[in-house]
Structure 1
Amino acid sequence: MTRSLKQLTGHLVLAVFGVIALVPLLLVLINSFKTNAEVLESPFGLPAHVGFENFFTAWTYGGFGPGFLNSVLLTGTTVLVVLICSSLAGYVLAGQKVRRWPAIMVYFTMAMTVPIQLFIFPLYSVVASLDLTDSPVVVGVILAAVNMPFATFMMRTFFLNVPAELEEAALMDGVSTFQLVTRVLLPLVRPGLITVGVIVGLNAWNEFLISSTFLQNPSAQTLTLGFLTMNGTFSTDIGTMMAGALILIVPVLAVFIALQRYVVDGMAAGAVKG
């Protein structure tokens, strides 16, 4: 009875958290099909008819066509750079293959505590002097550098869970270091790569501060910036704003749902060692 009561309590708590998380998304979905008058009259009611006028308006005035491509380019660059660099750094630090690895770990810890706002103006000055503004790829590299300390910590944890005997056996078989990392170790830490990629990708997709600073040209703006430009024009049209928010949310939600099993497994595996 005690065990059943604990399980029931746990399920109830999870159900409450699930409702708290899903209700706002459900309201966004419902109100995105309503006119502004319907939203103001009954925010929790169903729409009188299902139409896609709000979505067409949001897509057109928010510049979501080029914005979507820019967001994919920025996010893809960030994830690719982070996964390559953090996996290599995590392998080196986990194996203590550099003499001053404790100092490097302290440096990464300090880097995670320093706010990026301190570096915005010097960084913008350098990027502008090189004429590299309004480039989603450049912003992706900057975001990769911002996320690198966290990603390196995560990947180091996953590499710590790989038995040292496996690496020694592979080296005795005559594989090179490159083959060892790419063919032996990276497949073993695949949950970690997916976990880091999803977390960093979500951060890059929703990023605002750095993107708004370096992407001033409307043709280079991301989905997030395009949605925010609708604020002045459609701030009183809640239905159109909800449609724009749904367009912004759906891609990342779909990716997270598709990869959630790997993310949960990766977080659980990464929590074994620190």
Structure 2
Amino acid sequence: MSLVESRLTLIVSYALLSLFAFIALFPIALLVLNSLKPAAEIVQNPLGLPGPIRWQNFVNAWNHAKFSKTFVNSLVVSGTTIVLVCSTSSLTAYVLARKKVKSWKIFTFYLLATTTAPIQLYIFPLYFGFAKLGLINNIFGVSLIYTALYSPFAVMLLRTYFIAVPKELEEAAIVDGATSWQVFWRVMLPIVSPGILTVALIIGLNSWNEFLIATTFLQRQENVTAVIAFYLLSGQYSSDWGEIMAAALIIVVPVVLLFVFMQKRFIEGMAGGSVKG
């Protein structure tokens, strides 16, 4: 009876996993198919296979969206945000996990509250403040906003990694004459590197895909990111859906490839930081 139940459980599990995989992969498959069709064929039969394959969609999408420039802008924004978030959040998380801070509960509550506050709540005063400082259309200014937006999550996640590190390692380094900075840099950071990699992946993906802040603070054509350039491909009265699908695929492919190559480390990092602290 137990053998029959185990087989039934296995069949149901695989059936559910297959269903979820289909739900997740179907939009991507549809995107690939329609990126190879003319616009008229997409309207007539969006689920059908492409007749004559139209590679020109990718050429038009790359040129019209100016991906050679906008991709660089997206990489600069994402890279700067990753560096700022990982450097500041690791220091903050280490202090919260290891040092005796009297008001750490208040600070933790503040971090949790800021992760739930929508950006729409303070985007207008933030815009006026950045306008006064001359930071509108400034790529690094947008990276500062992303850093403030994503740092609370990064601090809370990295704190769990630092808590999981045995205190004896830190005490042994101090006995050997290491300073607080040397303990953090040479002992703690190498141990929590999976957590930092996880944070870098999450923050990088969020920065790459973010639209509202980028389109609000980057208004010049030479400063827009790839996501904004993709949005601008849609016309007011008509749109070339084949070109739009090709542009969407161009934007999605780097993200998918990055996750595929880094998924093992990403999952290990998320599991390693799931301790209670």
User: One fold, TM greater than 0.5?
Assistant: yes
Aligned counterpart for 1:263 among listed residues 258, 262, 266: 266
Deviation at 1:97, TM superposition (A): 3.2
Partners of 1:96 and 1:176 lie apart in 2 by 14
State the partner residue of 1:29.
32
Deviation at 1:235, TM superposition (A): 4.8
Residue 174 and residue 192 in structure 1: after superposition, are their counterparts in 2 closer, same or farther (change >3 A)?
same
Residue 65 and residue 233 in structure 1: after superposition, are their counterparts in 2 closer, same or farther (change >3 A)?
farther
Partners of 1:204 and 1:122 lie apart in 2 by 21
Residue 49 and residue 176 in structure 1: after superposition, are their counterparts in 2 closer, same or farther (change >3 A)?
farther
Secondary structure at the counterpart of residue 234 of structure 2: helix
Are 1:226 and 2:229 matched, yes or no?
Answer: yes
State the partner residue of 2:137.
134
Partners of 2:15 and 2:251 lie apart in 1 by 31
State the partner residue of 2:104.
101
Partners of 1:48 and 1:234 lie apart in 2 by 26
Aligned counterpart for 2:210 among listed residues 191, 207, 212: 207
Partners of 2:77 and 2:86 lie apart in 1 by 14
- Mean alpha-carbon deviation: is it higher for 95-104 or for 140-149? 95-104
State the partner residue of 2:187.
184
- Mean alpha-carbon deviation: is it higher for 40-49 or for 210-219? 40-49
Which AA in structure 2 matches 1:65? Answer: S
State the partner residue of 1:273.
276
Q: List structure 1 runs of 4+ shifted beyond 4 angstroms.
A: none
Which AA in structure 2 matches 1:97? Answer: K
State the partner residue of 1:10.
13
Partners of 1:51 and 1:177 lie apart in 2 by 60
Question: Which structure 2 residues correspond to residues 51-62 of structure 1 after superposition, within 5 A?
Answer: 51-62=54-65
Aligned counterpart for 2:172 among listed residues 142, 160, 169: 169
Are 1:248 and 2:251 matched, yes or no?
Answer: yes
Are 1:66 and 2:69 matched, yes or no?
Answer: yes
Q: Which residues of structure 2 form unaligned runs of 5+?
A: none
Deviation at 1:233, TM superposition (A): 6.2
Deviation at 1:238, TM superposition (A): 1.4
Which AA in structure 1 matches 2:189? Answer: L
Equivalent residues of 2:38, 2:54 under 8 A apart: no
Aligned counterpart for 1:42 among listed residues 27, 36, 45: 45
Q: Which residues of structure 1 form unaligned runs of 5+?
A: none
Equivalent residues of 1:235, 1:241 under 8 A apart: no
* Identical pairs, percent: 43
CA RMSD after TM alignment: 1.5
Residue 98 and residue 8 in structure 1: after superposition, are their counterparts in 2 closer, same or farther (change >3 A)?
same
Are 1:86 and 2:89 matched, yes or no?
Answer: yes
User: 1:43-70, CA deviations, whole angstroms, 9 ceiling, x for partnerless residues?
Assistant: 2222223342101111111121211000
Residue 164 and residue 235 in structure 1: after superposition, are their counterparts in 2 closer, same or farther (change >3 A)?
farther
TM norm structure 1: 0.95
Deviation at 1:10, TM superposition (A): 2.2
Residue 9 and residue 17 in structure 1: after superposition, are their counterparts in 2 closer, same or farther (change >3 A)?
same
Aligned residues: 274
State the partner residue of 1:110.
113
Partners of 1:235 and 1:13 lie apart in 2 by 40
Deviation at 1:167, TM superposition (A): 1.0
User: 1:194-223, CA deviations, whole angstroms, 9 ceiling, x for partnerless residues?
Assistant: 111111111111111111111000100000
TM norm structure 2: 0.94
